[in-house]
Amino acid sequence: MKKWLRIALLLFPIHLSAQDTCSCSRNLDLFIEKVTHNYAGFHDKVNTATRTRYDALVDSVRTAAAGTTDKSTCFTLLDTYRAFFWDKHLQLAGSFAHTSGGSAPTPPRTTAWTRATLDQHFSVHREQLRTLEGMWSLETYRVGIVYNDSLGAYDAIIVLSENPNWKESMVKFTVTEPVDGRCNVRYGRGDMKLIETTGTHAPGHLAMKGIGTWHAVAPPIGAMDPRTFELTYGEEVQWRMLDDTILYIKLGSCDLKNKAVLDSLVKVHTADLERIPNWIVDFRGNGGGSTDVFLSLLPYLYTKPFKEFGANHWMSPENTALLKAWREKNKDMLSGRSAARIDKWVRHGKKNPNTWSVGHGSTTRFGRGKAMPRRVAILGDAGTASSGESFLELARGMSGKSVIFGENTGGFMDYGDLMNHDLGCDGLVASIPTSRMNRIDHGLSYDRNGITPDVRIGPEEGDWISFVRRHWAKQR
């Protein structure tokens, strides 16, 4: 590991055009620079064996970039460079990213509404507003929702966004009138690709499958408490008894906002958890977030100590600054242990720029463990990624009770702790992993194939929960 304690960075020249600061060459060179300086896997992937191929690729895409002014073609060149590293956690988004069908995303509609005119409209028509009309927010977005008579649906119009792709007056999503609390949504993602999804509405809240929950900025009197809404309608966290002996827990995302929900459920049901012998824990489609979210489940799974090799964090000046800002933004949701760990990395980065903050790992122990549950079925699929996969890895390592059912996971495991870098043109944002798992040096790598299940469920099986119950019945 000594060779990893200090890296001599390769410096690529940046060729900026004075006349066109958003040229394809400029965008490509800046992306290469960001990856070279900040990516924790750079020197794993660019080594003696791959250097010639890497240099040839860089020369090729630079030559092509110098000869194109087409934005979609340029994005393809940047993505070709990204693909060299074979790391699904190393990501690139932008206004001219290709959709799965191969065409550029449709630009969002831009309206005449502004934040000021929306505020005035909601104030003047306060008593006549329709079901969803008003100001709503989700994470770093705020929208004003107004009914569009020509569409027969609502437009959600951007009034505030930290995503450079989305500007004031753009339509973030359209949503139909809720019927029995259900509605259909056409949604513009952060990278501006449009998707179709469904929504669940209760006063003051609008949960969108695969997106998250929008909350009214100024909920009407009698609006449901946000925690109650999430527990009742939330797609990401579910907790229910399938019968007297089987508890079903779903965690569809490791977004930090779900930690308080799951922790509260564990606390409220502590007495019940002492008697329930069977759990089905559903991590299908869990694309990750923070491992803090599922910590409250681990003591119930534990049967044996688990040695974790830990991770090293590459503390370039940019990584240090971005991590410090992220820690401040999320301080109220972080556990004390996680906050202290991040503070340690930031201190190291400030004192020793462009070096590794070395993580030596630890052994997880929870005393004698708990009698219940006796067996745990964990569901994972190709959509299980990053921190979602970490739960499966931990459960397999520390628990003789746990059996993983399903299919190979996504393979987002070897490099993590992404930091977003705004490239300043064409909505280009690079998400770059800043940590490297030390288990790589022990021959344990998951990025190619993901985590393999203990019991495979084939594509012909439509009901995985019933499959698990049949499997258990055969074991009896």
Predicted confidence (pLDDT) per residue in 370-417, tens digit: 899 999 999 998 888 888 999 999 999 999 999 999 999 988 889 988
The number of folded domains in the chain is: 3
Closest by Cα among 223, 215, 153 to 184: 153
Is residue 217 located within the same domain as residue 236?
Answer: no
Tens-place pLDDT, residues 26-80: 999 999 999 999 999 999 999 999 999 999 999 999 999 999 998 888 988 998 9
The span from the CA of 277 to the CA of 261, in Å, is 23
Q: What are phi and psi of 4, to 5 degrees?
A: -90, -5
Is residue 263 located within the same domain as residue 214?
Answer: no
Note whether 135 and 218 are within 8 A (CB).
yes
Q: Which tokens hold the place of 421?
A: 């870098």
The span from the CA of 14 to the CA of 29, in Å, is 6
Is residue 291 located within the same domain as residue 366?
Answer: yes
Q: Is the pLDDT of residue 136 over 70?
A: yes
Its domain, for residue 54, covers 10-93
175 within a domain of the structure (yes/no): yes
Angle at 56 between CA 50 and CA 61, to 5 degrees: 125
Query: Count of H helices and E strands in the chain?
Result: 13, 21
Q: Is the pLDDT of residue 218 over 80?
A: no
The span from the CA of 142 to the CA of 10, in Å, is 41
Q: Is the peptide bond before 373 cis (omega within 30 degrees of 0)?
A: yes
Is residue 85 located within the same domain as residue 34?
Answer: yes
Give one word for 186, left, alpha or beta, with left for phi > 0 and alpha for psi -120 to 50.
beta
Is residue 219 located within the same domain as residue 252?
Answer: no
Residue 95 has what pLDDT? 67
339 within a domain of the structure (yes/no): yes
Is residue 183 located within the same domain as residue 217?
Answer: yes
Residue 330 has what pLDDT? 81
